Structure 1
Amino acid sequence: MTDLQLPRSATLLLVDDEENILKSLRRLLRQEPYEILLANGGEQALQLLSQHPVDLVISDARMPGMDGATLLAEVQRRWPGCQRILLTGHADIATTIKAINQGRIYRYISKPWDDDELRLIIQQALAFQHSERERERLERLTREQNQHLQDLNATLEQRVKSRTAELQQTADMLDMAYEELKRSYVTATEVFSSLVTQRIPRNKQSNAQVIALVRAYAEQYSLGEALSRDLTMAAALYNVGKLTWNDTLLVSPADLLYKNERERYRQYPALGESLLMSLEPLQDAARLIRHHQERWDGGGFPDRLKGKDIPFGARLIKLAVDFIELQCGLVLERRLSRDDALLLIQKYSGKLYDPQLCEQFIKLCTELAPDLVLADPSILVLDTRRLEPGMTLARNLNAENGTLLLNEGKQLSRPLINKLIAFEESEGARYTLFVRQPAEAGATPQEAAR
């Protein structure tokens, strides 16, 4: 669970006409960083509220005299910033509705309560209260600053004009920093993906190839930066939901799984989504991961979506994943060749795959070189000793074990090139890099490759 932002201390008022309930609640919360006030009825509670600043009131629903709903409604009217929770041991719908409508309570909890759940609800209520107070503080600050700016505009208009260029430059720098942050998030997912693949034999590692495929499609069909970024992150982490599997299940073809294993297999897209949803920049990618095993005819999982109800990115990820995993032996018992995999995908167009997207995908794969880089005259294929400072990577560079060494877009420097050469010698390997010549160099790609 994400850490809750809580104030350093909080004051809780517990209201119940039963002494043993109050004692039980105080005992439950004695290890928490709260100041506890107790009241045996509504009138005493209101008196305490008028004497002490209280952050949260927990009141029983049924009490003699003033019931809990009436008390919380009065608290809402007089101290609207105080959070309110209704505690009830009765199936009293009318009281609960009154508490919700008039007292605008945060939650209601049934007796007997679960201790851990009650503590968590209190933490959540206080965290919500803290965030609301912070929002109100920021709104007040914004209003004050806006008023200050209006005053400045009335008296110092010329000064504001003189700073316009400087402010614009700062905004541009912030935009550049934000774009770099988003690119860094993509790189981070690919690094994590390369770590995940260490559990998988090299001949069954699929993520890097799936990433290359969706990037090639995105570039060929101009999908736009935001969707391309989400596709790349989804391709990097589409199988993160398999991390809890044992090594045998991890490399078993899907068609050979037994009933229990098959049921576990069908859960991995939803599990992958749940693991990533707490990370806001990954939420759209997580949605693509959830639905990348849906089928065009509605026979997929986990939600049996059909046709264009399946997100476009998820349809594309499925094509790329199936194409690569068929060749890795992760779908059928035997590995398929590249051509056989394309023929099988074409056979199931309109059943498993979006027909129009399938046609574009097959055309793309047919025209692609085996290395999955489009025939782009600006891309050079060089070994490390022919690299020059200023060149930019056009494709991720992975070590032989699948670890990400350098990410796409990295500009090469002489020290970095020397490190690559030294790394090759230490590993006894040879690497081929896909690079773009710097535009200002003046040499054509053909001249640079000679």
Structure 2
Amino acid sequence: MIVERDDGPIATVLLVDDEENILSSLRRVLRNERYLLLFASSGAVALELLEQHEVDLIVSDARMPGMDGATLLAKVQQGWPGCLRILLTGYADITTTIKAINEGQIYRYISKPWDDDELRLIIRQALAFEFSERERQRLERLTQEQNAHLQELNETLERRVQARTAELEETAGMLDVAYAELRRSYVTATEVFAGLVNQRFNKDRQTNAQVVALIKGYAEHYQLDERTSNDLAMAAALYNIGKLTWSDQLLARPSDLLYKEERARYRKYPELGENLLMTLEPVQDAGRLIRHHQERWDGHGFPDRLEGEAIPFGSRLLKLCVDFIELQRGMFLERRLSRDEALLLMKKYKGRLYDPQLCDCFIELCTTLAPDLVLADASIMALDTRRLSAGMILARNLHATNGMLLLNEGKQLTQQLISKLITFEASEGGRYTVFIRKPESDAPFKMERRDEHDPVAG
């Protein structure tokens, strides 16, 4: 299985070919990769190795005496479905390739002679896909277990709370009653509270889950320490608890349109949120982050008009995440912004509303390092320009590095447009991430590889 370690292999790869020189070539290509390599000269030997080792990926030649590659991979699919399968095939092996696709359900096939760099890249992508799939399955199991636990907690809490739309006193009482649960597992309990808080808001204004996802994504990518990550997750789940006593009219109005008494009440919600949490020791630090998450880098925020690095780091990050989501929900401005519009607006106001360095890191995370972090629509995928194909439809506006709009959402790509994008990208010395809407059919896009010496790709 895949193991992430600094001093050892991260995956086990089985290479199968009846020709020793092919196995030697594969050994040479992969010698600098962090894989535990196993070698087999026939399908029978490969099956024996699979019985003895946990193999993450198998790469098999198509033509072998006795048991060909397609038959071997079909057996692997039946006996070890979690092991990814790649077929090495010549141009004349179309029948074997079709059999491997239909019966072995292979991940990819690679034509001989292969390109070394491409082979290494395909194996890395395959292992990354395998790791992501296993992590998804683990999280799915964990979610089911937590849902069962939350159901149990909800049944207990429902007997003590008369309505989920309770006012301030009822919410404070609920937090006190649940304190024992919070001490045992305060992160899980916080998710319960956040779910209850959400019942006070309309569905389109239930933002806690999205803010938590952004916080966790940032914490994981930039490797924040455990205590900071936990405090941030708690603060993200409960940042709007101070709004519970607002009227429905106030909750429905964008903050930019509030006047006089309403604006004064709005400016008190971070402080009120901290006050609600101060009696619970495990969430006091999170409460402090909530208090200051509406401070501004230039010192004109609230409630304490802190400036620059006097604002806690977690509060600065929480503000970025909250503003990013609320701008898209129409909770800040009267008009709902698109995801890209929200990022451009935040970039414009860095140094005034936001910590400049932290804002750059946040935008980079959302656009370059992990562009799918906040994708709620599973029908959208992120590609670089060299994986684009004619006929694809843009799911979001595409902007240049300097912010200039290049292509509008809904634009259908042509080969000429793709070539121009690659040329413009090279002139800027950067990389574009292009968001494409997947086709309605189940058939995947055909991703064509451009040779590095192709003048269009250059």
TM class, shorter-length: 0.3 to 0.5
Q: State TM-score, norm by structure 2.
A: 0.42
Higher RCO (CA < 8 A, seq sep 6+): 1
Q: Which has the larger radius of gyration?
A: 1
TM-score normalised to the size of structure 1?
A: 0.42
